[in-house]
């Protein structure tokens, strides 16, 4: 564990550094409160700090208050090192944001115990943070493919349309599904079918730009939400996805499985609601299927309303 030792007394710094290093901690040293505050603002700030109460520049109590003002999902554990023994002083330090205190001159066993408490709390906070992030991901992502789930996807569409109403940078939405996916499941089994969907998401994700969104809409149907894309650019963008999938069979435990996609694409127009944008792309997808599959079809009225690609 990385620990900050902040004390203006050289002897105290050397003793603390020696003891903590012996216990296999990585020690970062600050000679006054100002340097300690600078250290705790860094991205790689130590997760535990031992701060002398009385230091030049900023006191340990002041550093505690400043550190607690920083936004953080996992705040550091702060121990005040002090010769002040009055209960009122200790309360002041704890109210300023310190988690614990250690009286000077400190006892090594007590130091070890208090640092151990800090480490357990830091570890617990880390596990709670991981659990929170895992729950958040489960709530927004499809468990099989890792793409966004339908609920999260609809939220992205709503926000994207709101942004598009203000900025008019171009917004396109494509709905695709695997042509004759039932044959894949019937021929190879559902486990291989699942592998195909995972591989498909991998191919599509490799083409997406940083601000694009990919979500699983249901079954073998996926939605690509592409911002900053006008009608003229939408055709080549979605055609590239179609061609990439058609040209790269997906490796599964049953061997390579070749698939093709049909895409229905709609570009947002003024005052179009979320369900209307999705419905327009869905209607275009049905037309792509009717026209022979393995192609990109645009919603009626779009600049590129004819299909692109070839039949599967």
For domain 2-139, give the CATH number: 3.40.50.2300
Could you give the residue ranges of the DSSP H alpha helices within the chain?
10-22, 33-40, 60-68, 87-96, 108-140, 150-167, 181-188, 190-205, 231-246, 274-290
Residue 307 has pLDDT above 50, yes or no: no
Residue 311 has pLDDT above 50, yes or no: no
Residue 308 has pLDDT above 90, yes or no: no
Q: Where do you find CATH 3.40.50.2300 in the chain?
A: 2-139
Q: Is 253 helix (H, G, I), strand (E, B) or coil?
A: coil
Dihedral angle of Cα 223, 228, 232, 236, to the nearest 10 degrees: -50
Q: Which pLDDT belongs to residue 301?
A: 60
Give the CATH architecture of domain 150-309: 2-Layer Sandwich (3.30)
Residue 302 has pLDDT above 90, yes or no: no
Q: Is 3 helix (H, G, I), strand (E, B) or coil?
A: strand
pLDDT tens-place string over residues 3-46: 999 999 999 999 999 999 999 999 999 999 999 999 999 999 99
- List of long-range contacts for 15-20, beta carbons under 8 Å, 24+ apart: 16/50, 16/111, 19/108, 19/111, 19/112, 20/115
Q: What does the mean pLDDT of the chain come to?
A: 92
Binned at pLDDT 50, 70 and 90, residue 306 comes out as: very low
Q: Which pLDDT belongs to residue 92?
A: 83
pLDDT tens-place string over residues 203-251: 999 999 999 999 999 999 999 999 998 888 999 999 999 999 999 999 9
Q: Which pLDDT belongs to residue 82?
A: 85
Percentage of the chain surpassing pLDDT 90?
Answer: 82
Q: Where do you find CATH 3.30.70.270 in the chain?
A: 150-309
Q: Which pLDDT belongs to residue 270?
A: 83
pLDDT tens-place string over residues 133-142: 889 889 999 9
Residue 304 has pLDDT above 50, yes or no: no
């Amino acid at each position: 564990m990385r620990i900050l030792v902040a004390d203006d007394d050289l002897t105290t710094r050397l003793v603390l550094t020696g003891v903590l290093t012996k216990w296999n901690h990585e020690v970062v040293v600050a000679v006054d409160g100002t340097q300690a505050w600078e250290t705790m603002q860094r991205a790689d700030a130590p997760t535990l700090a031992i701060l002398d109460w009385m230091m030049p520049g900023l006191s340990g109590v002041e550093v505690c208050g400043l550190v607690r003002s920083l936004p953080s999902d996992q705040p550091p554990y702060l121990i005040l090192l002090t010769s002040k023994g009055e209960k009122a002083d200790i309360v002041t330090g704890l109210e300023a944001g310190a988690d614990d205190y250690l009286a000077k001159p400190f006892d090594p066993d007590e130091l070890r115990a208090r640092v151990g408490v800090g480490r357990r709390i830091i570890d617990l906070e880390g596990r709670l943070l991981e659990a929170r992030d895992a729950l958040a991901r489960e709530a927004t992502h499809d468990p099989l493919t890792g793409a966004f789930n339908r609920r999260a996807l609809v939220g992205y569409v709503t926000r994207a349309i709101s942004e598009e109403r203000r900025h008019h940078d171009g917004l396109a939405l494509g709905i695709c599904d695997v042509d004759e996916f039932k044959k894949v499941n019937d021929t190879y089994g559902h486990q291989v079918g699942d592998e195909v969907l995972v591989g498909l998401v991998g191919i599509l994700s490799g083409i997406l730009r940083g601000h694009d969104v990919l979500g699983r809409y249901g079954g073998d149907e996926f939605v690509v939400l592409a911002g900053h894309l006008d009608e003229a650019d939408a055709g080549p963008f979605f055609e590239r996805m179609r061609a990439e999938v058609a040209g790269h069979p997906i490796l599964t435990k049953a061997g390579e499985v070749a698939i093709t996609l049909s895409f229905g694409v709609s570009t947002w127009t003024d005052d179009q609601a979320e369900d209307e944008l999705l419905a327009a792309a869905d209607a275009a997808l049905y037309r792509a299927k009717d026209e022979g599959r393995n192609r990109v079809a645009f919603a009626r009225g779009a600049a590129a309303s004819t299909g692109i690609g070839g039949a599967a």
